Amino acid sequence: MPRIDIDRLQIDFPLYHGQSRSLKKHVGNTLSNLRPGSPAAHLMQDGRERTVVSVLREISFNLKSGERLGLIGRNGAGKTTLLRTMAGIYEPVGGRVRLEGSLGTLLDAGLGMNMELTGRENIRLYGLHGGLSKAQISQIDRDVQDFADLGSYVDMPLKTYSSGMTVRLAFGLATAMRPQILLMDEWFLAGDGAFMNKAQDRLEAMVQHADILVISTHQPDVMRKWCTRVIWLEDGRIRMDGTPDEVLDVYLTA
């Protein structure tokens, strides 16, 4: 059964090296003048004397099959960083992240795709990487081409694609694979009108199929429609964890 276990996760990003004394002094002075809660208040020194931005602290939760989690929080709260850490893009500085089950991500268009290869070659590569048979790859090839509507561009290198075309291909591929765990950043929901209408059905089918969904969004409607649970992140920590109604009622009036 797919599941996600996150235990006391901590993510820091190094900024300056310890040798840089004047920078350290500057940061120290700046820190002492900061109001609590402002983003740079999370600058700190790590054990190796580096200045780091502390982005996630003491994040712990478990997700089991059937749960659809929405992440909310103000800009810079740490939602994207949490999704990227779950996807294995960032290594935790502290704590543990464990995922069991096949993983699909809609985080960055182009992530995992080769810009030098054609759309068709990327589709094949994606299928091979996902361990699909030749017949399954042919099926995905047709399905993605149909959906992404790339026309003759399918045989052109990705580097010649517009950003909209790249999103369509990435979206088509990620939704074709039907993973057990789907991690999704909200900007995938922000396509042009025509694309969104087409994408909506496909996305909903996938969300219904994925055993576990984690989505970051600022749209309360999406949370109420798709999620069974919402975690509110504030300054890199969990402020509230509950049903969409419980959390959104407090969040939207805070």
Specify the residue, 4 or 231, whose C-beta has the smaller distance to ligand ATP: 231
User: How far apart are CB 132 and ligand ATP at their closest, in Å?
Assistant: 32
Going from the C-alpha of 50 to that of each of 24, 54, 164, 194, 229, the distances in angstroms are 9, 12, 39, 48, 37
Task: Name which of residues 69 to 88 contact ligand ATP (CB under 6 A).
Answer: 73, 75-81
Site string for ligand ATP, 5-44 (x = CB under 6 A): --------x-------------------------x-----
Considering the rule CB under 6 A, would residue 51 count as an interface residue with ligand ATP?
Answer: no
Specify the residue, 161 or 232, whose C-beta has the smaller distance to ligand ATP: 232
And the tokens for 42?
Answer: 């999370």
Q: Which long-range contacts (CB under 8 A, 24 or more apart) does 151-154 make?
A: 153/119, 154/118, 154/119, 154/120
User: How far apart are CB 117 and ligand ATP at their closest, in Å?
Assistant: 27
Specify the residue, 39 or 101, whose C-beta has the smaller distance to ligand ATP: 39
- Determine how many CB atoms are found less than 10 A away from the CB of residue 42: 21
Specify the residue, 13 or 96, whose C-beta has the smaller distance to ligand ATP: 13
Of the residues 23, 31, 41, 53, which one makes contact with ligand ATP according to CB under 6 A: 53
Taking each helix axis from N to C terminus, what angle separates 119-129 and 163-176, rounded to the nearest 10 degrees? 30
Return d(Cα 113, Cα 199) in angstroms, integer: 20
Counting residues that bind ligand ATP (by CB under 6 A) gives 12
Sequence-distant (6+) residues with CB within 8 A of 106 are: 170, 171, 174, 175, 182, 183, 184, 185, 188
Q: Could you list the residues that contact ligand ATP (CB under 6 A)?
A: 13, 39, 53, 55, 73, 75-81
